[in-house]
């Protein structure tokens, strides 16, 4: 469409042509003009040549009145762009006043259109006939009254240029016509009712009055065109300072012209007073909101923002702050560009609201980024801290250096993430990271300290448990001094080691001393626990001690009860040693305190069995009738006096059998060694057998027979091991010999027969065989003796179980 093509703005019925105006603005590119545009309107009586003037003055194509048909063509308000005039100038052709079509009394539309023209236009042309100047009933007077009356309905009206265009000028000079016209205008202004606030307000405060005169278009067309051309030059740069346009305080940006005009016409049509400043604010509010909404939607659809948002979901983004700040700045700059000509307060307020909405939109992404930075920094700290500790660095120095490095990287990441438009505070996230790091350090410190404590406790367990058990097993007067010495040495070693290990931890002296004290107490607790365990096995230990001493000699060789041993003394010595063990295990002696436990036990348990037991005092009897020891704290007591008495009684009962068996074995050994008859029997045999002895002397052959019989008997004695068989009793010996006698005799006869058949050179072999037989007999005898000794001493047959 041609830039000068006219469009109906408001039809004759007062309907605003929204679609037509929007189309017109797009076609003439009015939105690009900002505030650099002007609006010119023309008013005048019907058929006064308004459209003709506009078409010649501005190059528009408003339809003119058909002179031949006499048909009026302008209804409502039409709009067009002036051709070839800079800045962009929009002209409005208003329906003529005093038209017969609307009637004499219907002036509503006339007033509404006049008020609309004053509110919208920078320059208002009032077209009037030259012959009406100075006349009381001139056609322009109702028009001027209408203009001045509606002017009162504008709150804080802006100063508008009123240009009176005198048509069909006569020969009367303009210098004479202008004063008359101005006088008529002033009279009309003075006659118009005004609000109290404007009673004395001069006309010049509301209007810049300009007067021009044009020749008749029909009679002097060339002169008319020349004059119009000269007038046209005054409209160039009309909005510049000193230009033709009046006060432009109420002008709205070009991209809001259609909306502003529509809202103004709606208010005017509803017969309401038009507050131009408020209208300007309203237009600015609506348009700025629309622009802000468009920019917000444009930001959401921005591809760079979408990519940045998606990238943040998977991890930190380098240069996030600069990238997002650039996108935001671009969006806000576009808003400023489009809203730059609107009222500053509204524009700034809506920009602030747009910025807040944009920041609300991006804040979750920003928080996600901070979360990634925080979690990444925390993981980096954990890894670096662990590597530093594994490399052998001190705990506190590693924690401080790694924490500082981590926080520095986090701060740098936050600086890169900060958005220029927001300046959000990242201190809370930083504080949370600091708390997380401190919590991790505390956790690792607790873990490391626990590991160190466990390590040295394990060392103490190894260093103390076995040795203490061994020392208590061999309980004697030096047991507890040795245990104290062991405890002191191992405790000092452990405390020194732990103290050295703790030097890398930044801890207060009180905590450090407490840990070292706890370790010392733990070492003491190991000894006490082991002592209590061994005290629980006191009876077994006593029995083992008794069995060891009773059944073994001073060279640790097993005893053979031959009858020469003093069993009573050995028993007393073994029981005294067991009592010593009981006294050692009765209490814990880690503080080197003296006690009389051994003396008390000796008097009450050992000496009470002596011959003067009947004379012992009542105090000695009752010394063990207590649950505590004298001069010993209850918590140090392992075995109470009452328990000692009970254990001793049980110990004696269980070792009594061993002593009895030893006595029986000793007696049996004595019987076996005394197999010859008594001396009186030998004397009787010598007296009564004297005759037989003499017979043997007179007949030596009997001596040979007796010698052979002796050899046979000796061989049978050795082969049958008669002395050993009868050691267990007469009846068992007879039964055993009865089963072995015949096989032994047959074996001897067989050997004699074999030797008789052998050649004479076998004498040497015979001698060797006899020696072998003698050796075998001797070996069997020793074996039997050993077996007998074993059978007679049941103490040795019971193995000592020290680990029970």
Binding site members for GTP: 44-51
DSSP letter, residue 37: E
Cα 646 to Cα 654: distance, rounded to the nearest angstrom: 12
Q: Which two tokens stand for residue 35?
A: 């505030």
- Burial status of residue 463 (CB atoms within 10 A of its CB: 0-12, 13-18, 19 or more): buried
What is the secondary structure of 524-586 as a DSSP string? HHHHHHHHHHHHHTHHHHHHHHHHHHHHB-TTSPBP---S-S-HHHHHHHHHHHHHHHHHHHH
For residue 503 the two structure tokens come to 């030097």
Q: What is the largest CA-CA distance in the chain?
A: 222
Burial annotation 1-40 (CB, 10 A radius, 16+ → b, else e): eebbebbbbbeeeeebbeebbeebbeebebeebbeebbbb
Structure tokens, 458:
């394990």
- In angstroms, the CA 504 to CA 452 distance is 12
- Match 């505070």 to its residue by tokens: 425
Binding residues, by number, are 44-51
SS3 call for 3 = coil
Please name which of 792, 804, 802 lies closest in space to residue 658, comparing C-alpha atoms.
792
- CA triple 739-740-744, angle to 5 deg: 145
CA distance readout (Å), 626 to 96, 621, 633, 759: 136, 11, 13, 88
- Give the count of beta carbons closer than 10 Å to the beta carbon of residue 290: 16
**DSSP one-letter string for 371-383:** HHHHHHHHHHHHH
Residue 60: both structure tokens together: 């528009």
Cα gap 384→419, rounded to integer Å: 30
- C-alpha 518/C-alpha 513 separation (Å) is 8
């Amino acid at each position: 469409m041609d830039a000068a093509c006219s469009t109906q703005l408001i039809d004759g019925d007062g309907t605003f042509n929204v679609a037509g105006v929007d189309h017109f603005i797009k076609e003439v590119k009015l939105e690009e003009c900002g505030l650099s545009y002007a609006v010119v309107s023309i008013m005048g009586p019907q058929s006064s040549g308004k459209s003709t003037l506009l078409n010649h003055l501005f190059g528009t194509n408003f339809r003119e009145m058909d002179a031949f048909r006499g048909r009026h063509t302008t209804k409502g308000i039409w709009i067009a762009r002036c051709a070839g005039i800079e800045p962009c100038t929009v002209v409005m052709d208003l329906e003529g006043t005093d038209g017969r079509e609307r009637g004499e009394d219907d002036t509503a539309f006339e007033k509404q259109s006049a008020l609309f023209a004053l509110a919208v236009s920078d320059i208002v042309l009032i077209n009037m006939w030259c012959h009406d100047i100075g006349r009381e009933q001139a056609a322009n007077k109702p028009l001027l009254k209408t203009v001045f009356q509606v002017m009162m309905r504008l709150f804080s009206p802006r100063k508008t240029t009123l240009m009176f265009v005198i048509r069909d000028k006569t020969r009367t000079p303009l210098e004479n016509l202008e004063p008359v016209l101005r006088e008529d205008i002033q009279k009309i202004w003075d006659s118009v009712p005004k609000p109290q606030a404007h009673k004395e307000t001069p006309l010049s405060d509301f209007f810049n009055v300009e007067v021009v005169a044009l020749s008749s278009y029909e009679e002097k067309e060339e002169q008319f065109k020349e004059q119009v051309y000269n007038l046209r030059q005054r409209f160039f740069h009309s909005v510049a300072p000193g230009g033709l346009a009046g006060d432009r305080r109420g002008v709205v940006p070009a991209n809001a012209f259609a909306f502003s005009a529509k809202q103004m016409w709606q208010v005017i049509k509803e017969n309401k007073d038009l507050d131009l400043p408020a209208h300007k604010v309203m237009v600015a509010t609506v348009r700025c909101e629309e622009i802000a909404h468009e920019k917000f939607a444009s930001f959401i659809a921005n591809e760079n923002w979408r990519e940045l948002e998606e990238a943040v979901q998977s991890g930190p983004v380098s240069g996030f702050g600069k990238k997002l700040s650039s996108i935001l700045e671009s969006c806000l700059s576009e808003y400023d560009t489009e809203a730059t000509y609107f009222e500053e307060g509204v524009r700034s307020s809506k920009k602030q609201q747009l910025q807040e909405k944009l920041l609300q939109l991006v804040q979750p992404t920003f928080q996600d980024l901070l979360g990634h930075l925080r979690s990444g920094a925390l993981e980096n700290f954990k890894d670096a801290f662990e590597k530093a500790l594994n490399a052998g660095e001190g705990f506190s120095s590693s924690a401080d250096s790694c924490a500082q490095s981590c926080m520095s990287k986090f701060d740098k990441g936050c600086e890169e993430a900060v958005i220029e438009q927001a300046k959000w505070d990242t201190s809370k996230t930083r504080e949370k990271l600091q708390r997380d790091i401190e919590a991790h350090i505390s956790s690792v410190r607790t873990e490391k300290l626990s590991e160190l404590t466990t390590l040295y406790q394990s060392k103490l367990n190894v260093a103390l448990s076995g040795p203490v058990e061994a020392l208590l097993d061999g309980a004697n007067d030096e047991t507890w001094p040795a245990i104290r010495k062991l405890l002191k040495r191992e405790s000092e070693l452990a405390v020194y080691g732990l103290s050295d290990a703790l030097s890398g931890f930044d801890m207060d002296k009180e905590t450090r001393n407490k840990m070292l004290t706890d370790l010392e107490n733990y070492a003491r607790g190991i000894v006490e626990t082991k002592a209590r365990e061994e005290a629980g096995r006191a009876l077994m230990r006593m029995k083992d001690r008794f069995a060891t001493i009773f059944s073994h000699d001073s060279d640790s060789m097993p005893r053979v009860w031959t009858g020469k041993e003093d069993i009573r003394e050995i028993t007393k010595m073994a029981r005294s040693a067991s009592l010593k063990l009981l006294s050692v295990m009765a209490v814990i002696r880690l503080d080197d305190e003296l006690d009389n436990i051994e003396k008390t036990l000796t008097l009450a348990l050992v000496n009470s069995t002596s011959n003067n037991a009947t004379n012992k005092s009542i105090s000695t009897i009752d010394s063990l009738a207590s649950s505590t020891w004298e001069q010993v704290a209850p918590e140090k007591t392992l075995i109470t006096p009452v328990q000692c008495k009970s254990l001793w009684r049980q110990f004696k009962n269980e070792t009594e059998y061993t002593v009895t068996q030893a006595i029986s074995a000793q007696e049996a050994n004595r019987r076996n060694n005394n197999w010859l008859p008594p001396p009186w029997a030998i004397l009787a045999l010598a007296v009564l057998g004297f005759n037989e002895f003499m017979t043997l002397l007179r007949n030596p052959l009997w001596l040979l027979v007796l010698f052979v019989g002796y050899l046979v008997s000796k061989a049978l004695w050795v082969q049958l091991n008669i002395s050993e068989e009868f050691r267990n009793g007469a009846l068992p010996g007879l039964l055993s010999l009865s089963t072995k006698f015949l096989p032994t005799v047959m074996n001897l006869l067989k050997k004699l027969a074999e030797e008789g058949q052998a050649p004479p050179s076998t004498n040497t072999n015979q001698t060797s065989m006899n020696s072998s037989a003698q050796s075998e007999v001797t070996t069997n005898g020793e074996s039997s003796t050993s077996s007998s000794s074993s059978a007679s001493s049941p103490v040795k047959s019971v193995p000592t179980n020290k680990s029970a």
